[in-house]
Amino acid sequence: MELKNSCAIVTGGAMGIGFATSKRLLQEGAVVTIWDLNEAALKQAKKELSVLGKVFVHPCDVTKKTQVYKLAKIAKKEMGRVDILVNNAGYVSGGEFLDKPDADWERTIDVNLTSLLYTTRAVLPEMYDRNRGHVVNISSAAGTIGVAGLAVYAATKWAVWGLTESLRMEALGNGKTGVKYSTIHPGYIATGMFEGAKLGIPGRWIVPLVKNHDVIAKAIVLDALKKGKYSPKRPSTINLNLRLRSLMPDRWFQRFLILMGVAGSMKTWYGREKKNS
């Protein structure tokens, strides 16, 4: 996709991956609308990004469908159209399944999965009408394997991948070949939401920590949007999850994951919220 003069919505765009992606899009000449729940971060993001191009910011809780549909209309009015939707807003509540209340898991599902139904539905009809657009959904390395301490989070990210693949098939089946879909699958990032989480020593050799959010933003902008790749993974060795699963007997693959340190990788996690509390 040609990004110059294209119009994008980035959810959760005031910090982390979303901020880095918005920055890259503006540098490519796109017009960007950022939605985020954190109003202070939105204000700071607009201050920093406005020097790069035209950027609009709006407080948004993507789990509130009425708010999403209203803001989508505002985005179309302010930008003229929506060519790109980056569903980046995410929520993580680390901990074993029985250790957290229902509300934590319900929030995880609402932010990471249900909200995508609202945001995508809000922009897809016009993308279909023009037969042009690209929806990028942030999945995870945890969308390719089960991760202890991330059961519900991983479930949502598997679902995001399935949703994206299915929507792509719908578009192709309806002859809407100009409407594209991609998922992005980041491993643990050294800073931000997953700060502190890490694989064991063998795992860190094979799947090293992602050093910063711009690595993922680059995968979104250059690989997914500009090159049209379906599911970039960072680091690329995350692809081993899929290849080894198909080649190994199930029991061997599970033992391989334990050797990699997947079973204990969240025990050292503290994340952005816990770090700042």
Task: Enumerate the active-site residues.
Answer: 153
Question: How many CA atoms, within 13 angstroms, populate the side-chain half-sphere of residue 257?
Answer: 22
**Beta strand 84-87 pairing with 7-11:** parallel
Residues linked to residue 136 through DSSP beta bridges, in sequence order: 86, 182
Give the total residue count for the chain: 277
Give the Å distances, CA to CA, from 73 to 35, 50, 68, 242, 253: 13, 22, 9, 39, 47
Q: Does an H or E element contain 234, and which?
A: strand 233-234
**Contact (CB, 8 A) for 196 and 271:** yes
261: left (phi over 0), alpha (psi -120 to 50) or beta: left
Q: Which residues of 149-183 are buried (b: 16+ CB within 10 A; e: fewer)?
A: bbbbbbbbbbbbbebbeebbeebeeeebeebbbbb
Output Rg (C-alpha) for the chain, integer angstroms.
18
* CA–CA distance, 85 with 119 (Å, rounded to integer): 8
